[in-house]
Structure 1
C-alpha cells in the first residue's frame, strides 16, 4: 500500500495565520433566533436575519468553517456535474426549476456580498466532462436538461487540461473563491450588524418551548426560533435521518507554476475528479478532489488518497504536494436540499442540510430561504422546495437508505461479537473493533499510544469503523466522527465515545 506523501490536515483554505475574531461566551445569551453552526449556511442565515431586523446568536462547536465549508473546493456554479439531469429524472419539473432558482439566488447573493466586502472571486467557466464512453450519455443528458432550463451551456470537444475526453459541456459566468475568506468576511459582517458569534461551544439539545432553549456545554441560550446549520441535524426528531446519507471525499493541493486555468472541472466518471486552481498569497495551487464513499464504509481510506495522488501526478506532472484533506457532505434521497422545519408542523426549529456536494450556492440559498420563512414571507422557490411531496423514486431511495443503515447496524454488532481482543493490539496507525465482555470496544494505536474506547456511537448506537488516513473513528449510520481517543469531531453525535 502506498502511503500518502502529506498527512491529512487542514485544507488549503484553513491553513493560514489569519485569526477570525469572534465573541466570548457569556451567561444569559438570548436572541430572536439562535443559529447553530458557523459555516456558510449558518452565517448567511444569520446575516440575512440581522438585515431583516432580528437579533441573532450564532453558536459553533469548533471554529469558523471547521467542518464542511472550510474543506469545500469553493466552486459556485449552476452547472453541478450531472446534478440537473439526475434531478430531471427524479423530481417534477417545478421542483427542478425551484432548485435552479435557489442556486441562482444563492450564487447571486455570494457574488454581491463578495463584491461589497472585497472578497476575491475568480471567474471561471464550469465544465462537466466524461473521459469514458460510458460517461458520454450523461454529458448529453446534462446538455439537454441545462439547455431546457435556459442556461447558456455549450458542448466541448477538448479541454485545456491534459485529459482525453469523450464529451464535455461548459457554462460560462461561474466563479470560484477561497471559502474561508468568505467566512471571515461573513463573520465580520454578522458582528458589525449586531450579531453575536461564539465558537468553541457545542450545542447538545434543544427544548422547543416558549422560548426555545438551546442546551450547551457552557449553559443555556434562549431564542424564539432555532436554526440547525450543522450538516446532519443533531436532534433525534424529524425525518432527516431516514432520507440523508453522509459521504466523505478527499482533496489534494499541489504547487502549480502553469498559467491560471480558465475553467473549473468535474468528471461524471467513477471515481470522480474535481479540478480547480487557486491563487494564494504565496503562489498558485492545483486542487484535485475525488474518491467519494459513504462515511464509515468502503474499506481502508489510505488507498483512496494514494490513488488520487497517483492520478494527479501522472496526469498533470506535478510533484510538490502541499496539502491533503477530507470533506463531508450529505445526500438527500430525492437529491434536493432541506431548507425548512425539522419536522412537519414544527415552526420553531429549522434545518439546512442535504446539499449533495454543492454547498456554496446551496448554503447561501439556505440563508435566504430560512430568513424568508422565519419572516413569514417565503420566497416562491423556497415554498416549492419546502412543500414538496416525496416522489416514488425518493421513497424507494429512502427505503434503500434505511435498509443500508439497518444492515450497517447489524453488521457492526455481529462483526464485533465475532472478534476477540488480540494479544498485541493493533499495529501503528491501525484500529480494530472487538468484543471485550458485553459490548464492542474500539482499540487503535496512534503515534505509539494505544487508545481504547467504546465502539458504540452515542447517537443511535451504530458501531464505528476505523478511518486509517484520518486516524478517526467514523460511524456508518449517520456520519458522526470521533478522534482516536474518542472525542467527537463532527455530529450528529454531541458526545464522544465512552471510555
Structure 2
C-alpha cells in the first residue's frame, strides 16, 4: 500500500553516520513541519540537525491528500464553538500565513501547483445545517466564501460552501526542495535514526537508536510527541483515514471537495504521472476515517470507499491506495510552542486534525518565531486561547474513551487463550504465558504472507491491549494511537520501542 506521492518518492540526499552530532537546534521529524522549521532556522545562521526515524516524508506528509486550503470541511465551526471568535480569526490568519508561505516557496522553485476552489458540501439533507454553520464561521473570520452548489460532482449535493483560489500539490516535491535547501545551508539530515528520549539540560542530550546528539534546543515534530512531558498523548485523539487514486475515462470535477457528512468523502484530482496513460489527471478519493485501534474492521472502511467510488465512477481503475494518521486536539487548534517541563529548551507541534499542509507551515513559522524571537501576533493569540466548556467536554470525553478501551481490551484478552495461528491476514489477542513466566499476559498472534508472528499484545507506551488492523495488517493501540507491524516493529505514535517477541 503506497501513496501516489511515494511511488516513486523523489531522491532526497541525506547525511551519514560521520556527520556532526552537536547543533544549536535538533529537529526530530522530517515531515513538512520539521523541514520548514529547519530551513527557517538555517536561514538565520543556526546549526541545525534533523533526525528522522524512517525516511523523509514517510509518515503523514507523504500520505496526505495534499490540499492546501483554509476552508477545511466543517472545522472552522468547531474552532469557533470550542474557543472564541478572536481565536477563530487568529486560526484562519495563521493558516493563511502558512498557505502563502508554502505557495510562494513552491512558485520560487518552479514546482507544480494546481489552483483549485475548495468546496465543503452536504451529501444528505441532514448536512445542510452543518454547511450553513460553516458559511457563518468562515465569513465571521473574514473568508470570502460563497454558497454555490458543487455542480461538477456526479451526485446530488444539498448545500455547499466554496472558497476560491486554494491549491493542491505533490507534498514530496516540497520536501525534496526543502531538504536540498536545508543541506545547502549547512544543515544535516539523518534518516533511520529514532529518538528514544532526552535529558533536558545545557546542552539538551537527545538519545537515539544511533547514539547521542546534543543541542541547545530540541524541536519535536513527530505527529505526536514522543516525550511524555506535557501529557500530550492524553490530550490528543488519533484518527486514521484512507485514500486511493484512480484512472477513469469519466469527466473529473475540477475542485477540491470534502463532505461534511459521515462517512467523510474527499475528492480531488492529481496530474497523471504516466504520460502513456492517455489522460492528464487521476481521480483521488479519500475519507472513511476512524479512531486508531477502535474500529472492529478497518478493512470494511477501505471497502466502503472503494464501493462508493465504483458507484459514482463505474469502472474506475485503482492505481494506488494509502492511509494516514492525524491527531485531534479538544479545541481544534494545534498545540505548538514550549513543551511543559522542558525548561524552555524543548518545543513541540502537534494536533493538525487532518489539515497538515497549512497547519504544518503555520506551526513551523510559530516555532521559528519562538526560537528566533519573532513570534507572529496570530501565534500569540492562539497561544493564549481560553477553552470553552465544549472543548473541556471534548477532552473529558477523549480520556473517558481511553479508560473504556483499557478495560475492554484487557477483559477480552484475558478471557480467551491466544491462538496458535490465525487465518492469512488475520490477527487476534489472547492470554498466554511466555516461556519462563508465571503470569499469563496478552499475546498478539497474526499471520501475514504465510508467516505467523507472536508478539506482546500490550502497547509498550502505557500497556493498553492492542487491536488488529485488518486493512493494513498492523497492531494499533486504541489508547494513544501507537502502531506496530505484524512482527512488532514500531511504526508511529508515542511508543519508543517495538513489541517483544513471544
The alignment's TM-score, normalised by the length of structure 1, stands at 0.96
Mapped contact 2:254–2:268 kept (Cα < 8 A): no
Per-residue CA shift, 1:285-340, capped at 9, x if unaligned? 11100111110011011111111001001112243111111110000011110111
> Which residues of 2 match residues 85-484 of structure 1 at below 5 A?
85-258=77-250, 261-282=253-274, 283-343=280-340, 346-422=343-419, 425-437=421-433, 438-484=440-486
Question: CA offset at residue 232 of structure 1?
Answer: 0.8
Specify every segment of 5 or more residues in structure 2 that has no aligned partner in the other structure, as ranges.
275-279, 434-439
Comparing 281-290 with 478-487, greater Cα deviation is found at 281-290
In 2 relative to 1, CA 130–346 (structure 1 residues): closer, same or farther, beyond 3 Å?
farther
1:495 aligns with 2:500: no
Give, in angstroms, the shift of residue 387 of structure 1. Answer: 2.5
Q: Tell me the distance in 1 between the aligned counterparts of 2:406 and 2:388.
A: 27
**Structure 1 SS opposite 2:359:** helix
| Native 8 Å contact 2:243 2:285 kept in 1 | yes
TM superposition shift of 1:280? 3.3
RMSD after superposition: 1.4
2:67 corresponds to which residue? 75
Measured in 1, the distance between the counterparts of 2:190 and 2:253 equals 38
Three-state SS of the structure 2 residue aligned to 1:155 is coil
Question: How has the CA–CA distance of structure 1 residues 45 and 10 changed in structure 2, closer, same or farther, with 3 Å as cutoff?
Answer: same
| SS, match of residue 22 in structure 1 | coil
Deviation string, structure 1 residues 2-51 (Cα, Å, up to 9, x no partner): xxxxxxx1101101163211111236511111000000000011111112
Given that 1:232 and 1:478 are in contact with CA atoms closer than 8 Å, whether structure 2 keeps it comes out as no
Measure, in 1, the Cα distance between the counterparts of 2:410 and 2:76.
39
Contact residue 254 and residue 318 of structure 1 kept, 8 A: no
- Is the CA contact (8 Å cut-off) linking 1:472 and 1:481 kept in structure 2? yes
Counterpart of 1:156 in 2: which secondary structure?
A: coil
Aligned with 2:391: secondary structure? helix
**C-alpha separation between the residues in 2 aligned to 1:26 and 1:390?**
47
Match of 1:64 in 2: 56
> Retained in 1: the 8 A contact 2:242–2:287?
yes
- Distance in 1, matches of 2:101 and 2:207, equals 32
CA gap of 1:216–1:17, structure 2 versus 1, over 3 A, is closer
C-alpha deviation, 1:260, in angstroms: 5.8
Q: Could you tell me whether the CA contact under 8 Å between 2:248 and 2:313 is conserved in 1?
A: no
User: 1:159 Cα deviation (Å)?
Assistant: 2.0
CA contact (8 A) 1:27 1:219 kept: no
Corresponding pairs, count: 490
**Structure 1: any 5+ residue segments left out of the alignment?**
1-8
